[in-house]
Chain A
Amino acid sequence: MALEKVAVQHFRNIAAAELRLSPQLTLLVGANGQGKTNLLEAIYLLLQGRSFRTTSEREAIQEGWDSARLEAQGKVSGQPARWVHVITAARPSHQGATVPVVLFAPDDVYLAKGSPERRRRFLDLLLSAHDAHYAKSLRTYQRALLQRNRALKQPALRSVVDDFTPLLAHEGLYLWQRRRTLLSSLLPLAQSLHRRLAPDDALSFRLKEGGWSSPLESAEAFQAALESRRREEEARQMTLIGPHRDDILFALNGKDTTVYASQGQLRSIALAIKMATYEWLRQETGIRPVILLDDVLSELDARRRQAVLELTAEPGQQTLVTDTEARNYETLDPTIYYVQGGVVR
């Protein structure tokens, strides 16, 4: 996998930019808020078809313009490849193969501590990008959930709540199954990576199914569980059981990280998870994922930084790094771009 050329037009604060990327390390240098992360986002959008940011894509169009255009050329498994992503007021258009990408970002540290929504988003981004069935199932689930919640809100429509339950349960079971499988594949990878970063702490994590104490194994069990909480659902006017309320429970030495972990421990967990994701994607897709390091290395101590840099130093590993200065990377012979006020040179 190698991206060769990336062109960005009217995307966030970047009017126009063209980058030729190194097959190994490309460094984007600039002060904060100049547009470095926007370039990483553009590359992520091209390779994944969706953004890692939660806001509407339309907001990424540069002010005063009515569309943004992203384009890239490169090779996938030795074959020439091209990507185009156009954002307009209507639905964004995308063409190009989905290529695995792993983004390391400063807020990864909240993965094991922040809101459950962040953890669900981590699961959904990862699974949707490489499993079209999951992406479709998630959309149907979300629509069924919305319909069911609206029915719970309107007394006149209470009689149809259960007509949306079987499809909700059907898709919900599939989402649960895929999320559990993903986490149990990531677990041994993350554990062994984590042992190298923090030998004194034993990491574990698992899916906590939303709104129910144990995994629900069949659509019937799911429906029965919903039935048992129906009065509460009507009082609170929402669906109380299902993947939309899932969480990932992280523990160090058996203790819940949302309560007990220090900042340094959270950082090790985040790194271990992201590196495990990298390994998993590589095994699943047979393609070496592109690594995007968004302003993370300066935050890390020597041991953790070493672990990340080892990964990027492997031959044929394409990586983009943003930093406020270039001097940490001199030995790696990077291609360097300077980013200032949306201008790239």
Chain B
Amino acid sequence: MLYPEPIQQLVQELNKLPGIGPKTAQRLAFFLLNAPSGEAEQLAEAILAARRRIRYCSQCFNFTDDDPCAICRNPSRDPTWIMVVEHPKDVVAMEKMHEFKGRYHVLHGAISPMEGVGPEDLKVKELIDRLHQVSPREIVLATSSSLEGEATALYLARLLKPMGFRVTRIARGLPMGGDLDYTDEMTLAKAFEGRQEL
């Protein structure tokens, strides 16, 4: 038996989300249909509002509803101290650590030839432009400790050092392959303090 068209449509859309298979999509659809009135509307509203209001910060490329973002606007954050991370969630992880008083640059990924991702698919060109404007005192490479994160750090070091920038890499205290956001604050703080000159 087929569900009525609107339900099919909803299942189809939910199924497009990462990690959501057809079974889960169906379960979520029925959850939304059975939820107290107003809840589905709130979810739809939240999705639309996020889509309408969230964009990349023109300086650090983190998500923001206000450009530049709160961190890039904050005068007590050192604009010449720049930490490069893979994803917006890494900024959140680093902020929980409360140790870093500079600003971020979000690459939105890591180099991975098997997925066809090279430097041109990341915010690398934007990073170079920005560095030439701010004359940074230190660039901290805080990509993950996965194979791809390490390769990305290596690529950036090869690119940035000949330009005369001071480049450091957070320590390998992180478990291999470990995402920053799964790492506890203490370990992250240690990795940050133990960063080494490249």
Binding site for B on A (CB under 8 A): 136, 140, 143-144, 146-148, 150-151, 153-154, 156-157, 159-160, 162-164, 166-167
Q: A143 contacts which chain B residues (CB < 8 A)?
A: 147
A97 to B84, CA, bound (A): 42
Tell me if B120 is interfacial: C-beta within 8 Å of chain A. Answer: yes
Q: How far is the CA of A32 from the CA of B111 in the complex (A)?
A: 50
Asked whether A147 lies within 8 Å of B112 as measured between CB atoms, the reply is yes
A146, A154, A167: the one within 8 Å of B151 (CB): A167
Contact present for B113 and A160 (CB under 8 Å): yes
Give per-residue flags for B112-133: 1 if the beta carbon is below 8 A from chain A beta carbons, else 0.
1110101110000000000000
- What's the Cα separation between A151 and B113 when bound, in Å? 5
Instruction: Report B95 CB to chain A, min CB distance, Å.
Output: 28
The smallest beta-carbon distance between A209 and chain B, in angstroms, is 22
Q: Which residues of B contact A167 (CB under 8 A)?
A: 147, 150-151
B50 neighbours in A (Cβ, 8 Å): none
Residues in chain A near residue B155, CB distance under 8 A: 159-160, 163
The 9 A-B residue pairs with the shortest CB-CB distance in the complex, in nearest-first order: A150-B113, A163-B151, A151-B113, A163-B154, A163-B155, A157-B118, A150-B114, A157-B113, A164-B151
B160 to chain A, nearest CB (A): 13
B137-170 interface (Cβ within 8 A of A): 147-148, 150-152, 154-155, 158
Output the least CB separation between B125 and chain A (Å). Answer: 13
Q: Nearest chain-A residue to B120 (Cβ)?
A: A156
**Contact-size category for B:** 10 to 19
Chain A residues lying within 8 Å of B111, measured Cβ to Cβ, are: 160, 163
CB of B176 closer than 8 Å to a CB of A: yes
- Distance between B17 CB and nearest chain A CB, rounded to angstroms: 19
Distance, CA A31 to CA B152, complexed state (A): 56
Given the complex, which residues of A lie within 8 Å of B154, measured CB to CB?
A: 162-163, 166
Contacts of B118 in A (CB 8 A): 154, 156-157, 159-160
In the complex, A148 Cα to B112 Cα: how many Å? 9
- Give the nearest-CB partner of A148 in chain B: B113
Please classify the interface of chain B as helix (H, G, I), strand (E, B), loop, or mixed, using the class held by over half of its residues.
helix
A154 touches B113 (CB 8 A): yes
- In the complex the two chains form, what is the Cα distance from A154 to B116 in whole Å? 9
Known contacts A147-B112, A154-B113, A157-B118: A140-B151 contact under CB 8 Å:
no
* Contact, CB under 8 Å: B152 / A163: yes
A sample of 9 inter-chain contacts (CB < 8 A) reads A136-B176, A146-B114, A147-B147, A154-B113, A156-B120, A159-B118, A159-B119, A162-B154, A164-B147
Number of A-B contacts (CB under 8 A): 47
The answer to whether B120 and A163 touch across the interface, beta carbons within 8 angstroms, is no
Given contacts A156-B118, A156-B120, A157-B118, contact A147 B150 (CB under 8 A): no
Q: How far apart are A163's CB and chain B's nearest CB, in angstroms?
A: 4
CB distance from B4 to the nearest CB of A (A): 30
Of B113, B147, B148, most buried by chain A (CB within 10 Å of CB) is B113
Point out the residue from A140, A160, A162 that lies within 8 Å of B119, measured CB to CB.
A160
A163 touches B158 (CB 8 A): yes
List, in ascending order, chain A residues with CB within 8 A of B151's CB: 147, 160, 163-164, 167
Report how far A147 CA is from B147 CA in the complex, Å: 9
Are the CB atoms of B147 and A140 closer together than 8 Å? Answer: yes
Q: What is the bound-complex CA distance between A295 and B152, given in angstroms?
A: 51
Given the known A-B contacts A160-B151, A163-B152, A167-B151, are A147 and B114 also in contact in the complex, defined by CB atoms under 8 Å? Answer: yes
Which single residue of chain A is at the shortest CB-CB distance from B114?
A150
Chain A residue with Cβ nearest B177: A140
Q: Let me know if B176 and A147 touch, CB within 8 A.
A: no
Within the complex, the shortest CB–CB distance from A146 to chain B, in Å, comes to 6
Alpha-carbon gap, A156 to B176, bound state (A): 28
Cα distance A166–B172 in the bound complex, in angstroms: 15
Inter-chain contacts of B120 with A (CB < 8 A): 156
> Given the complex, which residues of B lie within 8 Å of A147, measured CB to CB?
112-114, 147-148, 151
- 4 additional contacts, CB 8 Å, given A160-B113, A163-B152, A163-B155? A147-B147, A156-B120, A160-B155, A162-B154
A160 to B113, CA, bound (A): 8
Shortest C-beta distance, A141 to chain B (Å), equals: 10
In the assembled complex, the Cα of A136 lies from the Cα of B150 at a distance in Å of: 17
